[in-house]
């Protein structure tokens, strides 16, 4: 990513609100530099009020006034209050921007997973890597780089003030600081070198964890546990070594500034006193401001080093904002996190079809027609070629076939998630994607893994329903899926734990089927719903499907015939590929 694209993407990521707060905090950083000047003047006024210096000294060609100790201390309190306000503004802005950007990145990422069909990075490994490594470290980059900007502005204005007070000493300081800066930049190149490798190693670790978790039994039976353990440990060591090295050079650059700065200060004092014979009061103000300037530079280089560590992850995160809808997705116009962290919620104005109206729309089961449908994945040979297929209204159709025959692809085509390379797929007379996207289209879905939420049985059964249902309707549906005995034993208020323990796999799937039936779907989809069940539970689900025949169009994807016992038509995918 070139510099121009980096800046444009960064502005897009921050948004108008982030830019506004960044601008305000930049003004506050200038205020801090002015406060430091005021403190140096107050030091002179204090010395004058104590009688340590005469009243004939001048500040910027103005005569030093003789003020009482009470007036000077009152001025000091006022300056302290101003310093408190501007310092709080800069530090809180950096903290706010960190969490604000993290919120926008997470919202955008989740939206793309849920709503963008062409978004490729939907695997758990990819999502975990983004959330735990890329986005979190990117937010730390924002925190440190924001502090760096504020300290840079503050340091620049302090440097300008130093030139106004004592230009000769400032030239010496500039030369010394330039040399110190070169040394620090060289060290930060080392930081960048190691920091770039940290996210690469973290991604490998995430992938290794997922590989072991998915294939534990295979690894154990093949006697490969020790090899996998050693390989994983090597990856952890590699990650740790790169991270530690990056932090070491970052800390080295942060501590190098004040050390060399003190040496520079000693040199300036000696030259100023013996060569230029600068006024002691001017030199005192210069030394104070130079000390504050060197301290600012030290803090600045520390923030720069830390930002450098996280820059690689930040660049990766900018790829997430490349979609044109980012500013809409990440918008916080309805629900706003305030500058101080309070959550300011506005009542959402959701435009939706009235539920009573929805119940009257599309009651009839849809007809699905595939006309001359061909499909191929990019750079692959055609998977389907000119398929013609009709699924009648209210019929139950099974798609069966072994792995790799295109069952899942066909289902994604029928539901509009994928678009055919040629030909068309219509549901109820409209393109599949349009029918599926309609809010009034009632669709039931049961996948291979039961989707249950933390809550009681009734809350799970009513999750996502278009219309409210009463307990009698729930009990009738549970009887339909052979779960009435479970409810008599546990009751509708039985709470499911986080890990859903207490229920068998078959009971969980039948709860999901009951939920789908309760929604009175026009289209019901079962995608490998019995893949992980025994024959008894599979036959119970097949019996339940038999009892709802003709009430909706049903598509059953499976590699087993048991669930297809009562279907009207079975399509073997190997015969149409």
Give the contacts of 96 (CB within 8 A, at least 6 positions apart). Answer: 21, 339, 341
Cβ neighbours around 211 below 10 Å, total: 15
Give the per-residue pLDDT at 61.
Answer: 56
Rounded Cα gap, residues 330 and 324, in angstroms: 11
Give the per-residue pLDDT at 65.
Answer: 65
CA distances from 26 to 32, 151, 289, 347, 460 (A): 10, 9, 20, 34, 50
CA distances from 165 to 58, 83, 168, 170, 290 (A): 11, 21, 9, 9, 11
Give the per-residue pLDDT at 554.
Answer: 92
Task: For CATH 3.40.50.300, list the domain ranges present in the chain.
Answer: 368-575
Does the pLDDT value for residue 291 go beyond 60? yes
The CATH code belonging to domain 3-331 is 1.20.1560.10
pLDDT confidence tier of residue 139, bands split at 50, 70 and 90: confident
- State the DSSP code for 135: I
- State the DSSP code for 501: T
Burial class (CB in 10 A: 0-12, 13-18, 19+), 184: buried
CA dihedral 463, 468, 474, 476 (to 10 degrees): -140
Give the contacts of 320 (CB within 8 A, at least 6 positions apart). Answer: 105, 108, 109, 112, 130, 134
Cβ neighbours around 310 below 10 Å, total: 25
State both tokens at 108. Answer: 């955008």
Does the pLDDT value for residue 426 go beyond 90? yes
| Tens of pLDDT, residues 476-535 | 888 888 888 888 888 888 888 766 677 888 888 888 888 888 888 889 998 888 877 788
Q: Mean pLDDT throughout 344-362? A: 43
Q: Mean pLDDT throughout 442-465? A: 84
Give the per-residue pLDDT at 356.
Answer: 39
Give the contacts of 257 (CB within 8 A, at least 6 positions apart). Answer: 180, 184, 294, 297, 298, 300, 301
Give the per-residue pLDDT at 137.
Answer: 85
Rounded Cα gap, residues 67 and 64, in angstroms: 9
Does the pLDDT value for residue 344 go beyond 60? no
Give the contacts of 361 (CB within 8 A, at least 6 positions apart). Answer: 353, 440
Give the per-residue pLDDT at 355.
Answer: 42
Range 380-398 burial, b when 16+ CB lie within 10 A, else e: eeebbbebebebeebbbbb
Q: Mean pLDDT throughout 336-341? A: 63
The CATH code belonging to domain 368-575 is 3.40.50.300
Residue 155's nearest CA partner among 263, 300, 283, 302 is: 300
Give the per-residue pLDDT at 54.
Answer: 55
Number of H helices, E strands in the chain: 18, 15
Give the per-residue pLDDT at 370.
Answer: 92
Rounded Cα gap, residues 267 and 294, in angstroms: 14
Coil, helix or strand for 180? helix
Rounded Cα gap, residues 300 and 305, in angstroms: 9
| Tens of pLDDT, residues 364-420 | 789 999 999 999 887 788 888 889 999 999 899 999 888 778 888 888 888 888 888
Mean pLDDT of the chain, nearest integer: 79
**Helix ranges (DSSP H) in 196-224:** 197-214, 216-221
Rounded Cα gap, residues 81 and 7, in angstroms: 35
pLDDT confidence tier of residue 198, bands split at 50, 70 and 90: confident
Q: What is the phi-psi region of residue 386: left when phi exceeds 0, alpha when psi lies from -120 to 50, beta otherwise?
A: left
Entry field: residues in the chain: 577
Rounded Cα gap, residues 238 and 205, in angstroms: 10
Give the contacts of 147 (CB within 8 A, at least 6 positions apart). Answer: 90, 91, 94, 299, 303
Beta-bridge partner residues of 443:
523
Burial class (CB in 10 A: 0-12, 13-18, 19+), 295: middle
Q: To the nearest whole percent, how much of the chain has pLDDT over 70?
A: 84
| Tens of pLDDT, residues 546-564 | 888 888 899 999 888 888 8
Does the pLDDT value for residue 188 go beyond 90? no
Greater pLDDT, 207 or 97:
97
Rounded Cα gap, residues 94 and 100, in angstroms: 10
Rounded Cα gap, residues 347 and 336, in angstroms: 12
Ranked by mean pLDDT, which of 17-26, 170-179, 288-297, 500-509 comes out on top? 17-26
455-456 and 443-446 as β-strands: parallel, antiparallel, unpaired?
unpaired
Task: For CATH 1.20.1560.10, list the domain ranges present in the chain.
Answer: 3-331
pLDDT confidence tier of residue 358, bands split at 50, 70 and 90: very low
Give the per-residue pLDDT at 500.
Answer: 67
DSSP string, 464-482: T-SS---HHHHHHHHHHTT
Q: What angle do CA 161, 308, 235 make, to 5 degrees?
A: 160
Query: Which residues in 319-378 belong to E strands, given as ranges?
Result: 335-337, 343-345, 368-375
Rounded Cα gap, residues 465 and 327, in angstroms: 31
Task: Give the distance from CA 262 to its chain's centroid.
Answer: 42
Sign of torsion over alpha carbons 92, 98, 101, 107: negative
Task: Give the distance from CA 504 to its chain's centroid.
Answer: 35
Give the contacts of 490 (CB within 8 A, at least 6 positions apart). Answer: 457
């Amino acid at each position: 990513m070139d510099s121009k694209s980096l800046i444009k993407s960064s502005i897009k990521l921050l948004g108008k609100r982030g830019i506004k707060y960044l601008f305000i905090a930049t003004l506050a950083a200038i205020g801090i530099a002015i406060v430091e000047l005021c403190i140096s003047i107050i030091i002179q006024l204090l010395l004058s009020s104590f009688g340590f210096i005469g009243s004939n000294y001048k500040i910027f060609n103005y005569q030093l006034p003789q003020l009482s100790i009470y007036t000077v201390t009152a001025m000091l309190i006022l300056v302290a209050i101003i310093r408190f306000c501007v310092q709080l503004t800069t530090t809180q802005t950096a903290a706010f921007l960190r969490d604000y950007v993290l919120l926008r990145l997470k919202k955008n990422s989740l939206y793309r997973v849920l709503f963008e069909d062409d978004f490729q990075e939907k695997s758990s490994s990819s999502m975990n890597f983004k959330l735990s490594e890329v986005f979190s470290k990117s937010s730390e980059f924002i925190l440190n780089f924001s502090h760096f900007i504020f300290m840079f502005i503050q340091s620049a204005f302090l440097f300008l003030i130093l030139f106004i007070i004592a230009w000769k000493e400032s030239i010496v300081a500039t030369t010394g600081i330039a040399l110190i800066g070169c040394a620090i930049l060289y060290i930060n190149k080392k930081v960048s070198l190691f920091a770039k490798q940290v996210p690469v190693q973290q991604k490998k670790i995430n992938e290794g964890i997922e590989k072991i978790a998915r294939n534990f039994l295979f690894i154990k039976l093949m006697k490969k546990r020790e090899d996998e353990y050693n390989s994983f440990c090597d990856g952890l060591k590699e990650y740790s070594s790169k991270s530690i090295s990056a932090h070491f050079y970052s800390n080295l650059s942060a501590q190098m500034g004040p050390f060399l700065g003190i040496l520079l200060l000693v040199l300036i004092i000696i030259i100023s006193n013996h060569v230029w014979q600068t006024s002691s009061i001017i030199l005192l103000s210069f030394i104070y401001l130079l000390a504050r300037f060197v301290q600012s530079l030290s803090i600045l280089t520390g923030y720069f080093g830390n930002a450098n560590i996280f820059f690689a992850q930040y660049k990766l995160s900018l790829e997430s904002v490349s979609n044109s809808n980012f500013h809409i997705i990440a918008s916080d116009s309805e629900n706003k996190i305030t500058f101080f962290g309070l959550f300011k919620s506005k009542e959402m104005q959701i435009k939706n079809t009235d539920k009573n109206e929805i119940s009257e729309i599309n009651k009839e089961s849809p007809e699905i027609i595939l006309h001359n449908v061909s499909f191929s994945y990019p750079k692959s040979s055609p998977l389907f070629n000119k398929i013609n297929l009709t699924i009648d209204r209210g019929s139950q159709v099974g798609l069966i076939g072994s792995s790799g025959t295109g069952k899942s692809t066909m289902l994604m085509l029928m539901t509009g998630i994928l678009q055919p390379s040629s030909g068309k797929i219509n549901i109820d007379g409209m393109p599949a994607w349009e029918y599926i996207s309609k809010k009034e289209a009632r669709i039931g879905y049961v996948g291979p893994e039961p989707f249950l939420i933390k809550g009681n049985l009734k809350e799970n059964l009513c999750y996502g329903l278009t219309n409210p249902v009463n307990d009698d309707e729930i009990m009738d549906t549970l009887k339909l899926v052979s779960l009435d005995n479970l409810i008599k034993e546990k009751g509708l208020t039985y709470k499911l734990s986080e890990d859903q323990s207490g229920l068998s796999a078959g009971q969980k799937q039948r709860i999901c089927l009951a939920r789908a039936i309760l929604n009175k779907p026009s289209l019901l989809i079962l995608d490998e719903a019995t893949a992980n069940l025994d024959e008894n539970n599979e036959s119970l689900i097949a019996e339940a499907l038999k009892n709802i025949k003709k009430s909706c169009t049903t598509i059953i994807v499976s590699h087993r015939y048991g669930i297809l016992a009562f279907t009207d038509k079975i399509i073997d995918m190997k015969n149409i590929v």
